[in-house]
Structure 1
Amino acid sequence: MSVPFLRTPEHRAELAAEADRLLEFAAHSVHPDGGFGWLGDDGALLLERPVELWVTCRMTHVAALGLLMGHVACAELVDVGVAALTGRLRDAEHGGWFASVGPDGPVKTDKESYGHAFVLLAASSALAAGRPGAQELLTDAIEVHDAHFWDAAEGLVVDVWNRDWTELEPYRGVNANMHTVEAFLAVADVTGDAAYRERAARITTRVLGWAAGNGWRIPEHFDPEWHPVPDYNRDSPAHPFRPFGATIGHALEWSRLALHVDAGLVASAQALFDGAVADGWAADGADGFVYTTDWEGRPVVRQRLHWVVAEGLAAAAALYSVTEDDRCSDLYAQWWEYARTHLIDLEHGSWRHELDEHNAPASTVWEGKPDVYHAFQAVLVPRLPITPTFAAAVRDGFLEQVR
């Protein structure tokens, strides 16, 4: 019996080399004022852009993984992130974290659930890596999240508060809940508190229910009572965080996350995966995943974003580990070849974040290469078991302990 591509020693070596390359690229994003800045297509730091909370958190998480994998230079990068999250990005007056900061202080003072989920993730990974200040950061992040974002009655998180926590935006969204699932699983793994795994399961159950009732196309946007708003952002369909319609990459990401929550959810994970592949891959004739479709599965935004392919690779690898279905392995091999041909930038580093419908470099949705989180996780998933989550798994010696 032949070994599937994603399990071959040659590909495992390729994944390890790509992880090293991505960590080298990430090291250039340290901002002179603190935190991690936005990198351009050529890998240069764009100092005119503010430091974003989500970018700093994601880079801190990746650096912690790098340290756990034996890259000792990543210790300094983790400490840069922890310092920014306990310093310039934190709101010392009202608590929580600013969405972005510039040379003169906060640029965007909203308290976003999306960014706060990544604070939980970054703090969890830094704690797993044993970095100073990580435990205090995680304790703070948990207290803020529990006080302001977790809605126990709904089993979901709310989205955006103003700076002093007195006004809650009426919008509710699945994107923030998706990353909160990831964060809650990480918190559970590093603290041993099973309540956060139970919360992750509650969120996942709600989202899978919505998807199952909608042809496995996930409703993304909701009103305050959690009624879907299917026309949300119809006039701004390429929004980087709240696009109109069904987001192909999120279906793939939820497919993997459902397995991390409970491998018994394989049927739902497979349905999400199959639907995303049918609607999104080469939907307009050219290879690559389209960004979004309408509710009948027709392409809306045809840009090819790197994170969608990364999540496709991760989902295919996760499903293969549970099902050993050759189709998942074959799709993984096809998509890795696509990434190697079109996305992996050997000249300037990292992965090209956006291509147009002809697979030429573009910047309609994303400018530059702001972080390596999706690509880095994509090169780890095939080398790890389904549980525990990334940092705990690497810490506990499970890297490459996959059949």
Structure 2
Amino acid sequence: MMEITAGATPPGGSWLQRGSHRDWLEAEGQRLLAFYRASRHPECGFAALDDDGRLPDDARPDTMITARMTHCYALATLRGVPGAAPLVAHGVAALQGALQDSEYDGWYSELPREGEAPSKQAYIHAFVALAAASAWQSGNADAKGLLDDVLKVIEARFWSEDEGGMREGFSRDWSEGEAYRGGNSNMHSTEAFLQLADVLDNPLWRQRALSIAEKLIHRHARANDYRIVEHFDSDWHEWRDYNSDRPKDQFRPYGATPGHAFEWARLLVHLEAGLLRHGESAPGWLLEDARGLFQRATELGWCVDGEPGLLYTHDWDNNPLVHERLHWPVAEAASAAAALHARTGDSTHERWYRCFWDYIERFMIDRERGSWWQELDHHNRPSNQLWSGKPDLYHAFQATLLPRLPLAPTMARAIAEGAL
């Protein structure tokens, strides 16, 4: 098991301050952007690529992928990457077109087949909001209408002022609500809300992000020894055995997910920075809980099963459960380490940052066929138990940007202001 101990900054100074490391991150980000241009679906939006970066003949436009691609290429547009703006326009058109429910409002998870009545999920709407905000910030005029539309749906259907968080899911016509509240959807809503606060210059969204963080992290994760509780009933009672028969669920797995602890640690640091930047009160627990989450995630997730890497989940007795190594948790771990190092100057986070990127370079990055492997098995060999192909640009690309950006404002606003 690999251990990181406190000590002086490693020789050569911080990677995070070195131009050569920043150049490496830039080159990797550009490589990822080039690979995922092929995910543009000819019908509308974007769809999942296979391992070789090809769009399968039966690929279907997917709303989550479309929103994430739109967000990423909007950031690329802001950075001056030629060819990115037309991809943003393609994504916005799909989110305002076939992927949007013109009869009942809201967004489908994917392009529906005839006769289907897909549900409406908070997770999807959080990413539509993120995409709309980034696209509008990047100069896409049509994105303002998309942003107005998704905010109306979030306000009317998903956000609960009484609960201080997001409701989870509804039937297509909104007549039936899901008796479940999810940590994953609320976490990504927090991410979207922080960006909305910056892009719209509206502190309401930052206060809503704080409300979610207080509920999920300061109230529940802290009381559970900084293990993220992901599943709740409609009254926000912890639902520990939810999906115990589906431990490898892609979005709602049983047990605790160290990758989400890293992601939350980063978001808490960004939230604190956003509050302070605008002269708003930032509770001290934001940094304290971010540190607690990061430390616990490394203890329970990193190299705990005899092999390098970050496992997907562990059970409530802290035993490894799903050993597969997905790409997004280690991407988030690197970003969280960078954020905590920027906030605290603690060299321990610098050491973790190097450790995570060394692992990514050794095991995750596919230099032969492009992008990153989305999943590795227990022995760090390519696997497809949870995910097949290479559908996701979002986590890896953000990991190449976040270490080079300030903690506040959020990415689209920071890049628009010339931070990168």
Q: TM-score, normalised by structure 1?
A: 0.97
1:133 counterpart = 2:146: no
SS in 1 for 2:54: coil
Residues 100, 106 of structure 1: 8 Å contact kept? no
Aligned-partner Cα distance in 2 for 1:342–1:286: 12
Alignment correspondent of 1:229: 239
- AA partner of residue 359 (structure 1): N
- AA partner of residue 251 (structure 2): F
- AA partner of residue 250 (structure 2): P
Aligned-partner Cα distance in 1 for 2:57–2:269: 39
- AA partner of residue 297 (structure 2): A
Alignment correspondent of 1:101: 111
Pick the aligned partner of 1:294 from 298, 315, 340: 315
Residues 279, 293 of structure 1: 8 Å contact kept? yes
Alignment correspondent of 1:190: 199
SS in 1 for 2:224: coil
Alignment correspondent of 1:314: 335
1:370 counterpart = 2:370: no
1:5 Cα deviation (Å)?
A: 2.0
Alignment correspondent of 2:42: 32
- AA partner of residue 134 (structure 1): A
SS in 1 for 2:387: coil
Alignment correspondent of 1:391: 412
Alignment correspondent of 2:81: 71
Alignment correspondent of 1:266: 287
- For residues 149-195 of structure 1, the C-alpha deviation after alignment (integer angstroms, 9 at most, x for no partner) is 00101110011111011000111111000000001111111111110
- For residues 99-119 of structure 1, the C-alpha deviation after alignment (integer angstroms, 9 at most, x for no partner) is 1115x5585621110000001
Aligned identity (percent) is 47
Aligned-partner Cα distance in 1 for 2:367–2:75: 22
Residues 70, 87 of structure 2: 8 Å contact kept? yes
- For residues 25-46 of structure 1, the C-alpha deviation after alignment (integer angstroms, 9 at most, x for no partner) is 1211000101001111111112
- AA partner of residue 199 (structure 1): R
1:283 Cα deviation (Å)?
A: 0.8
Aligned-partner Cα distance in 2 for 1:77–1:308: 27
Pick the aligned partner of 1:329 from 350, 374, 387: 350
Alignment correspondent of 1:160: 169
Aligned-partner Cα distance in 2 for 1:100–1:127: 23
SS in 1 for 2:111: strand
Most deviating of 294-303 and 257-266 = 257-266
Residues 101, 108 of structure 1: 8 Å contact kept? no
- AA partner of residue 320 (structure 2): P
- AA partner of residue 277 (structure 1): T
The residue correspondences of 1:2-21 to structure 2 (distance < 5 A) are 2-21=12-31
Aligned-partner Cα distance in 2 for 1:28–1:349: 12
1:52 Cα deviation (Å)?
A: 1.6
Aligned-partner Cα distance in 2 for 1:49–1:162: 25
The residue correspondences of 1:165-244 to structure 2 (distance < 5 A) are 165-208=174-217, 209-244=219-254
- AA partner of residue 268 (structure 2): A
Residues 74, 134 of structure 2: 8 Å contact kept? yes
1:24 Cα deviation (Å)?
A: 0.4
Alignment correspondent of 1:116: 125
- AA partner of residue 307 (structure 1): W
Pick the aligned partner of 2:257 from 233, 247, 259: 247
SS in 2 for 1:300: strand
SS in 2 for 1:213: helix
- What is the number of equivalent residue pairs in this alignment? 398
Alignment correspondent of 2:58: 48
SS in 2 for 1:253: helix
- AA partner of residue 226 (structure 1): W
Structure 2 regions of 5+ residues with no counterpart?
1-8, 274-283
**Structure 1 runs of 4+ with >6 Å offset:** none
Aligned-partner Cα distance in 2 for 1:282–1:107: 43
1:12 Cα deviation (Å)?
A: 0.5
Aligned-partner Cα distance in 2 for 1:171–1:120: 22
- AA partner of residue 128 (structure 1): Q
- AA partner of residue 145 (structure 1): I
1:50 Cα deviation (Å)?
A: 2.4
Residues 330, 360 of structure 2: 8 Å contact kept? yes
- For residues 226-246 of structure 1, the C-alpha deviation after alignment (integer angstroms, 9 at most, x for no partner) is 101101111110100000000
Alignment correspondent of 2:102: 92
SS in 2 for 1:51: coil
Aligned-partner Cα distance in 2 for 1:112–1:72: 33
Q: TM-score, normalised by structure 2?
A: 0.93
Do the aligned partners of residues 62 and 5 (structure 1) sit closer, same or farther apart at CA in structure 2, a change above 3 Å counting? same
Alignment correspondent of 2:155: 146
Alignment correspondent of 2:379: 358
1:327 Cα deviation (Å)?
A: 0.8
- AA partner of residue 19 (structure 2): P
1:345 Cα deviation (Å)?
A: 1.1
1:90 Cα deviation (Å)?
A: 0.5
Aligned-partner Cα distance in 2 for 1:380–1:4: 17
Alignment correspondent of 1:380: 401
Aligned-partner Cα distance in 2 for 1:326–1:112: 40
Residues 291, 305 of structure 1: 8 Å contact kept? yes
- For residues 194-243 of structure 1, the C-alpha deviation after alignment (integer angstroms, 9 at most, x for no partner) is 10111001001111120011111011001111101101111110100000
